[in-house]
């Protein structure tokens, strides 16, 4: 018989029910593999009457979070949000209890406060499920790659966006109808902004960057763009060029400073990340010793997230049972401050889409502006079959600083021959 470690779950929603079911169903598996008797003793929620499809003894259910914190050795926070959830975690840590959370938004915005409380109270704080669901990327950064200097990371970390982009590409469909289908199928929320405007991925990018470089940057450090401006034409042209559109998190060490950005990006279709389709996630981490590693799997959903939560619970339970609490600290700050690279100072290749009047001299006018900013063109295309008074013009550039590209775009948009906005997307040849 292993040492008993008691677990309480705050939040009995989709993920909470999944975690509870996993702990109850696989209790003996966890005991056999860990040597610890991990017992679910309390589940707290505002609503303890609705059937969650999980058979739980009535004695485990409570509406009293304080009761749960008092009884549990490990408190699992699964209610989401950045206010009440954070307060519950602080209360648990200040009571000397270990905490497991899947709350990416909370960590991205209040992580430093929570890590300080965990250190002050000598408590574990684990959060594997906060990034990429069931993919153990945080454990890899904190443990498996501990001897590596992280050179760069790329992440496809939002299943909703990847599903939408995959459908748009495969069907030649527009963004809005595919989004509506995704909502009907349950892949997208009724208010999809957190996903499609890039903020969900930005939360995850901030967490990964902090772990990789020893500074908790926070959400404000992330340059964020969403996928709403991608058109069917963009998808078609990307495929012809050998690329695929992905909502890509980019975290790079550039001469000792760090770039953290999230944006719709063209990546090679034959790359490891380029092959990832549908609701699946992938994270590529490159270390100075190990080289490139790829982590792939389901990044969201009840069971994938619950699996990561229970893995953390088991790790913490083993720490408690073996008297090695904080064997892996929640976060360890580096000795040196790490500056950020502003997105305008980053060098990339770019894909531009603009609508122009069907008249002579248009290409000369556009290329003249690009030349003024020393931006060289790799290819310039007008899709076959374009007709009418206004036609699309597509440009792929060689590498240039984003500040130069942004300035050039402002001038191009003011040309009499250009109609509407100029759309710009980065190209990452990973």
Rounded CA separation 138/112 (Å): 17
Q: Which of 6, 42, 104, 204 is catalytic?
A: 204
Read off the tokens for 81. Answer: 């949000």
Burial of 275 (0-12, 13-18, 19+ CB in 10 A): middle
Q: Which residues pair with 263 in a beta bridge?
A: 248
Provide, for the chain, the percentages of residues in helix, strand and coil under a 3-state DSSP scheme, each rounded to the nearest 5.
40, 25, 35
Helix (H, G, I), strand (E, B) or coil at 150: strand
Burial 121-150 (b: 16+ CB within 10 A, else e): bebbbbbbbbbbbbbbbbbbbbeebeebeb
Rounded CA separation 262/257 (Å): 17
Decide if 204 is catalytic.
yes
Read off the tokens for 242. Answer: 């050998």
Rounded CA separation 281/296 (Å): 6
CA–CA distances in Å: residue 157 to residues 69, 127, 171, 198: 32, 16, 22, 10
**Strand pairing category for 98-101 and 74-77:** parallel
Q: Which residues does the annotation mark as catalytic?
A: 204
């Amino acid at each position: 018989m292993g040492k008993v470690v008691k677990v309480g779950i705050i939040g009995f929603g989709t993920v909470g029910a999944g975690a509870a079911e996993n702990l109850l169903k696989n209790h003996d598996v966890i005991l056999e593999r860990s040597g610890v008797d991990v017992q679910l003793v309390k589940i707290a929620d505002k609503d303890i009457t609705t059937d969650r499809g999980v058979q739980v003894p009535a004695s485990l259910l409570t509406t009293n979070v304080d009761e749960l914190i008092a009884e549990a050795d490990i408190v699992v926070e699964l209610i989401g949000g950045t206010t009440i959830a954070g307060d519950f975690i602080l209360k648990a840590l200040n009571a000397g209890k270990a905490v497991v959370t899947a709350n990416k938004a909370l960590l991205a915005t209040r992580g430093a406060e929570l890590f300080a409380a965990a250190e002050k109270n000598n408590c574990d704080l684990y959060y594997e499920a906060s990034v990429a669901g069931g993919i153990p990327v945080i454990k890899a950064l904190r443990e498996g790659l501990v001897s590596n200097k992280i050179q760069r990371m790329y992440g496809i970390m939002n299943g909703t966006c990847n599903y939408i982009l995959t459908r748009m590409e495969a069907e030649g469909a527009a963004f809005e109808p595919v989004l509506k289908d995704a909502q009907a199928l349950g892949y997208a929320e009724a208010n999809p902004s957190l996903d499609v405007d890039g903020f969900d991925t930005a939360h995850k990018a901030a967490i990964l960057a902090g772990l990789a470089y020893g500074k908790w940057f926070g959400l404000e450090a992330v340059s964020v763009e969403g996928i709403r401006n991608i058109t069917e034409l963009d998808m078609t042209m990307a495929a012809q060029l050998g690329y695929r559109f992905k909502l890509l998190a980019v975290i790079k060490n550039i001469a000792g400073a760090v770039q953290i950005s999230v944006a719709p990006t063209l990546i090679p279709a034959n790359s490891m990340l380029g092959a990832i389709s549908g609701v699946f996630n992938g994270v590529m981490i490159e270390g100075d010793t190990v080289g490139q590693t790829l982590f792939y799997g389901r990044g969201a959903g009840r069971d994938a997230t619950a699996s990561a939560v229970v893995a953390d619970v088991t790790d913490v339970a083993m720490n408690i049972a073996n008297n090695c609490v904080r064997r892996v600290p929640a976060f360890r700050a580096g000795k040196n401050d790490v500056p950020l690279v502003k997105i305008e100072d980053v060098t990339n290749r770019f894909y531009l889409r603009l609508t122009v009047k069907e008249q002579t001299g248009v290409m000369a006018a556009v290329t003249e502006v690009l030349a003024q900013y020393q931006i060289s063109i790799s290819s310039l295309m007008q899709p076959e079959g374009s007709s009418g008074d206004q036609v699309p013009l597509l440009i792929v550039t060689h590498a240039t600083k984003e500040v130069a590209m942004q300035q050039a775009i402002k001038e191009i948009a003011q040309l009499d021959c250009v109609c509407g906005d100029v759309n710009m997307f980065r190209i990452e040849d990973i």
